[in-house]
Structure 1
Amino acid sequence: MSKNIVIVGGGTGGGSGVARNLSAKLSAAKITLVNPLPYAVSRPTLPRMTVSAGNDLFETTLIPYDKLFTTRTARSCRVSSRADKKGGTVLLADGKQLPYDVLVLASGSHWEGLLNIPGDSAAVTESIAAGARALKRRRNFFWSGAALTEYAGEIKDVWPSKEVAIVHGSSNLMNSTYPSGFRKGLEKSLRARGVKLVLDDYVDEIPAPGPATIKTRKGTVIEADLVVATRGPCPRTEFVGKSLGAGTLDEKSQIKVKPTFQLLEHPDIFALGDAIDTVEQNQVAEAYVHAPINVITYLSGSGCTMK
């Protein structure tokens, strides 16, 4: 198939995974990956990379894209679609246009705190190093949001005497997708390491990073030298709403998709991962398998399969 396939977003399991998958199956297609960085960042390794000194994770976690597909570095873009819904154009920040027969949106999410990775390649290493310095020089931590258990475990492994407090809105850590036994085992492990867990409680206002006194909804007071917010991410979909209309997104700014990962009004545009409105624990893992199959079947004219 001599077709142009443009993929916006290059996460390790999302856009870059789909690009590799399609490259292996569509040797005649021109596949272009658009991403602000020239490499993919393996976000699950960030807790250890930030906390543990003297490791080689900087070299192994920042993964350069292979040469199976063209890569364009762009910090922003705009999408246009033809009236017949058969192809369109991606306009990059530098003014260059990329025509597509199929577009895959894998733009991921905005994160905060230590999970936030700058879109400027020159700033990535310093941003991670600055987080590591902040953790090393502070003693008492309050953690809020995603990856809290990973960071807590890493901190207590490296600095057992540092104090870490976690407030979680459920009576068990993590969420109900995980088995009860696993969640209870995680709680037991963290308590054994000296992590203070305040469960079934909330912090209504997260203070700015730095020293703070935190009071939970139920009255628990926590003193912290450093507040670290890594709350749930927000979809990185602003450009989608501006390009294709606000109706493309739901109330959470997630892209509305059919069970085939196609946009409701744009059969030539697929979306996947954190950016879509499908409620699944492993959206990226699901999309990595199904999205390439559906792109291929769409290009062949044989219709897409349900995920």
Structure 2
Amino acid sequence: MSQKVVIVGAGAGGGSAVARALSAKLPTAQITLINPLPYAISRPTLPRMTVADGNDLIETALIPFDKLFQSRNGTFVQGVVEHIQPGSKGGVVVLVGGKQLPYDVLVLAPGSIWEGPLDLPDDSKAVTTFIAASRAQFQKAQKIVLVGGGSVGVEYAGEIKDIWPEKQVTIVHGGVGIMNSTYPAGFRKGLEKRLRERGIKLVLDDYVDELPNPGPTTVITRKGHTIDADLVISTRGPRPRTEFVAKSLGADTLDERTQIKVKRTLQLIAHPDIFALGDAIDTVEQKQVMKASAHAAIVVANIVAYFSGKSMKEYKGSSEIIIVTNGKGGGRAYLGILGGITLGDWFARMLKSKTLMVPMTRGFMGY
């Protein structure tokens, strides 16, 4: 009887990477990948995709699963998980609508819930409408406030200025510097300098506690700073998509940030037949596609070891590396190696800003 592996969530660097590798390493197993949409989303493309047209990202960055599996043992199932029914060994995943998928090993890669223009709907028919509406609101607005100055806020600001350099763009960020303290002050200060050179205003060490209703408004920050705006967008960080995990396996499966608690083998503490990876787990590191890819390699090796009764590998963390775009032509990079290396426009443009890594991501998906 073949081994059944069910994977929940199909991020290109996470669940899809696990599905693709396992289909080759376990050719006699049944690999089932579940995702609400019939494609993986290359999320680094969304700031550019949702700001304006003039690119082919809807065609290239929403990547179908038809070439994902390397053997004929893989199946894609479009659906949303209602709950998990664990057994003494293996269990069942139940989808909204009642479809049941039994598993010997379960992989949780549910990703995150975002706000604003990053919050694409789970209905594929609604996605293109959502993107068109997002582009229209950016085109119409003249005074734009971005609430959140992590990499998402910075990249939205750069994309807006690429298309409409005359528009007023303001980032409100709770930190004393842009991004967060994971990254050194010099990297952050250099990024702030380049943003200001493009006319982007920065309101730091301050907060917008409540997003206003759509339309012209005056944003009043927590410290009383007033900003005229006709479009206010949340570019804050996400929260884990783990509510179904807590309902199914118990609230103690999650930590105080609603992240899935995992052992260093990336197995759930009380469920050795369930693995988890990506943004939704409680590893102490920045949440990024590159981290999910590193998790995926460990999960794949450990599932193979689980079925063969061999010892498992431990995830020992990854170096902090980030490339933040500032429009198509530049950005800034930090490599947390050799004491920390900061690189500028040419490096960011070569690796990310020009193509947003779409060709590489498509390659990961079998294209």
Calculate the TM-score normalised by the size of structure 2: 0.80
CA distance in 1, matches of 2:81, 2:215: 31
**Do residues 271 (structure 1) and 276 (structure 2) align?**
yes
CA distance in 2, matches of 1:280, 1:28: 35
Conserved in 1, the CA contact under 8 Å of 2:81 and 2:93? no
Instruction: Please tell me the residue identity of whatever aligns with 1:77.
Output: E
Moved more, 202-211 or 32-41: 202-211
Moved more, 29-38 or 164-173: 164-173
Instruction: Please tell me the residue identity of whatever aligns with 2:180.
Output: N
Conserved in 2, the CA contact under 8 Å of 1:211 and 1:227? no
Conserved in 1, the CA contact under 8 Å of 2:20 and 2:68? no
After the TM superposition, which residues 67-216 of structure 1 pair with which residues of structure 2 at under 5 Å, given as runs? Answer: 67-68=68-69, 69-82=74-87, 84=88, 86-145=89-148, 146=150, 147-216=152-221
| Cα offsets for 1:36-79 (capped at 9, x unmatched) | 01101111101111223221111101100125121001123311
Conserved in 1, the CA contact under 8 Å of 2:92 and 2:102? yes
Calculate the aligned-residue CA RMSD, in Å: 1.5
Q: CA deviation at 1:243?
A: 1.1
Q: CA deviation at 1:207?
A: 2.2
Q: CA deviation at 1:247?
A: 1.6
Q: CA deviation at 1:4?
A: 0.5
Q: Which residue of 2 aligns with 1:244?
A: 249
Conserved in 2, the CA contact under 8 Å of 1:209 and 1:228? no
Q: CA deviation at 1:174?
A: 1.0
SS for the counterpart of 1:12 is coil
| Cα offsets for 1:183-233 (capped at 9, x unmatched) | 222111110000000112222333234332112233221111001012221
Unmatched tracts of structure 2, length 5 or more: 316-367
SS for the counterpart of 1:131 is helix
**Do residues 262 (structure 1) and 270 (structure 2) align?**
no
CA distance in 2, matches of 1:219, 1:279: 34
| Cα offsets for 1:159-181 (capped at 9, x unmatched) | 00000001112222112233333
CA distance in 2, matches of 1:286, 1:111: 22
Instruction: Please tell me the residue identity of whatever aligns with 2:100.
Output: Q
CA distance in 1, matches of 2:141, 2:181: 33
**Do residues 305 (structure 1) and 308 (structure 2) align?**
no
| Residue of 292, 295, 298 corresponding to 1:290 | 298
CA distance in 1, matches of 2:108, 2:214: 32
CA distance in 2, matches of 1:176, 1:27: 44
Instruction: Please tell me the residue identity of whatever aligns with 2:6.
Output: V
After the TM superposition, which residues 8-23 of structure 1 pair with which residues of structure 2 at under 5 Å, given as runs? Answer: 8-23=8-23
Unmatched tracts of structure 1, length 5 or more: none
Identity %: 61
SS for the counterpart of 2:147 is strand
CA distance in 1, matches of 2:261, 2:213: 33
Conserved in 1, the CA contact under 8 Å of 2:253 and 2:261? yes
CA distance in 2, matches of 1:212, 1:97: 48
Conserved in 1, the CA contact under 8 Å of 2:172 and 2:207? yes
| Cα offsets for 1:121-156 (capped at 9, x unmatched) | 100111011000000011000101251000000001
Q: CA deviation at 1:12?
A: 1.4
Calculate the TM-score normalised by the size of structure 1: 0.95
Instruction: Please tell me the residue identity of whatever aligns with 2:195.
Output: L
How many residues were matched structurally?
A: 305
CA distance in 2, matches of 1:299, 1:209: 53
CA distance in 2, matches of 1:237, 1:21: 24
